[in-house]
Amino acid sequence: MKKIVLFTLALFFSAAALQAQILKPVKWSYAAKRLSKTEAVILIKATIEDGWHIYSQNVGEGGPVATTFTFPPAKAYTLKGKTIEPKPISKFEKTFNMNVSYFEKSVVFQQRVVLKAAQTAVKGKLEYMVCDDHQCLPPEEVEFSVPVK
């Protein structure tokens, strides 16, 4: 009888562990493209699983968490302008009772930098929130470093 109880408990905890898997519907990748000797563009790409979306950098007050990019000051480069994004999808969402702008499948954000060194790594942090039609996952922060050669 003891073996049956232990087996049942082990089966229960195995099933619970499978249910508790962490969802990661967004994968981030990074690249740098030199535009000249003194300028480059940092490409930050989100690949988003079907059915999910991330929000634009431009979200109104009371809406979801916007995607944001933070770049600490550096001696080897300076930012040129703000991080740009392509035209998002805009739609009314009942959850937030407002129009929101978001991206599905994939999106590439771009940040231009003026280089003060021949080689460097552009470092930063991004924050985003991902949702589907039934749920939103908690906002997540991701640190990154993109080599510029």
93-133 pLDDT tens trace: 888 899 999 999 999 999 999 999 999 999 999 999 999 98
Looking at the domain assignment, is residue 78 inside a domain?
A: yes
| Tens of pLDDT, residues 32-83 | 999 999 999 999 999 999 999 999 999 999 999 999 999 999 999 999 999 9
CA distance 102 to 84: 14
CA distance 47 to 26: 6
Looking at the domain assignment, is residue 15 inside a domain?
A: no
pLDDT of amino acid 26: 98
Q: Give the single-character DSSP code of 136.
A: B
Q: What is the pTM of this model?
A: 0.84
Looking at the domain assignment, is residue 7 inside a domain?
A: no
Looking at the domain assignment, is residue 122 inside a domain?
A: yes
CA distance 96 to 64: 7
SS3 content of the chain, % helix, strand, coil (to 5): 10, 50, 35
Which structural domain, as residue segments, surrounds residue 90?
23-148
- Inform me whether the pLDDT recorded for 19 exceeds 80: no
Q: Is 108 helix (H, G, I), strand (E, B) or coil?
A: strand
Count of domains forming the chain: 1
Amino acid letter for position 14 = S
Average of per-residue pLDDT across 15-44: 85
Looking at the domain assignment, is residue 14 inside a domain?
A: no
